Amino acid sequence: MLKKLGGNIVIYGTTNGIKSLVPFVMLPILTAYLSVKDYGVLSLIESSILFVTPFVMLNINGAINVEYFKKSDKKEFALYITNALILTVIAFIVVSIVIYLFSDYLSNLLNLDSIWIKILPIFAFLRVVPLVVLIIYQASSKPISYAKFSIAQTILDFSISFYLVVLLSYGLVGRLLGAYGSFLLFSILGLYILYKNNYVVSKIVLKYSRDILSFGVPLIAHSIGGIILALSDRYFLSYYIGNSSVGLYSVAYQASAVMLLISTSVNQAWSPMFYKLLQNRDFSKANKMIHLLFALFIITAISVYFIEPILYKYLIDAKFYNSKVFLLWLLLGFLFQSLYFLYTNYLFFYKKTKLLSFVTISGAVLNLILNYILIKIYGAVGVAYATAITWFLYFLTVYFVSKFIQKSYDV
């Protein structure tokens, strides 16, 4: 198992590393071609897209990932996927109408032009099909196919973005068109792949729709809670200090996200194996592997801390050097988030999504309170303190909840 896990981690890690080359390679480009304020606006737009995405996607990716291991009949699984995609179309229409009706209010609230507000659902919807394709590849243990699809999209993303930002000087518009132009083309390709592999059928089964909604709707609260935790800091900075501080914070966030890149790659390789172990009730081996990965994440965080000065020296324009004040606290937050991933897999497998949502929303509310208090006391760096504290409490809570779940099923 260790050999297979190690091989898959290398593939997923390499793939995610190449995917992350876009934001990392774009980092010196964007910091050179965009003002600090424009970089902050770009960050706010991307943050808003992530906020809208769970309402459009309905977390069908998580439902599909778990259901893959519970449906041996491919036709039944294809029905499940088809129903999931239809639900996202319906959700996209509803969300688009709601956002259009409140676009002026949201524009004033978020300090963004209304045109960006109105097209947020489109950006979110373009993420659906590529993610479903990648989830199927991941669940079916096809890391090579996962890598080919993901890397090809990454290359297209970078190529379009570079052309529009550097050669045509389109600024933040060019970056968004590059990213979501590639999503559009790979949505078309993804639909072809799903159809070719008989994952798309012309039938609706209400029981699957109910199961998908039962799994996914509670996770909307979970996703929104996670997004609030990840992104509310930018809104606090924008409101209390200004969009220039958002630009500085976003650069530090991107630099520290090396930790999250590594832990996400590990979890992508590990979660299918973990689900199989739980399906076979091999709890002892599952726990041993989790302890090993726990130690790996701590070592990784320490290593990332020592390489970040190199990232600043070679990748980041000098006008963003003041962002270093956020680095350590954001890195600690990413470490606790990585450890949190290890134990949320239990809740996903046993479909304890309502419980997970309650934990996440509670933590998000706490994070909002901490952001408000700490930014008043410590200034901009207060939001980084709030992030680290909240993820630490998240990790502790999910750790003890997962231990309770293990005892319930280990009989």
In whole angstroms, how far apart are CA 142 and each of 8, 28, 290, 300?
9, 33, 22, 26
Higher pLDDT pick, 54 / 311: 54
Count the domains in the chain.
1
The span from the CA of 1 to the CA of 83, in Å, is 34
pLDDT tens column, 244-273: 787 788 888 878 877 887 887 787 778 778
The span from the CA of 11 to the CA of 139, in Å, is 14
The span from the CA of 252 to the CA of 43, in Å, is 12
Q: Average of pLDDT values for 366-391? A: 92
In whole angstroms, how far apart are CA 115 and each of 48, 119, 123, 124?
13, 7, 12, 15
Of 206-215, 282-291, 331-340, 357-366, give the range with the top mean pLDDT.
331-340
Q: Average of pLDDT values for 213-237? A: 74
pLDDT tens column, 163-216: 998 888 888 888 889 889 999 999 999 999 998 988 887 666 667 777 777 776
Single pTM value for the model: 0.65
* pLDDT (0 to 100) of residue 320: 76
- Does the pLDDT of residue 121 top 90, yes or no? yes
- Does the pLDDT of residue 77 top 90, yes or no? no
- pLDDT level of residue 392 (50, 70, 90 thresholds): very high
Look at phi and psi of residue 142 and say left if phi exceeds 0, alpha if psi is from -120 to 50, else beta: beta
* pLDDT (0 to 100) of residue 411: 46
Which range marks the domain in which residue 55 is found? Answer: 2-409
Mean pLDDT of all residues in the chain? 82
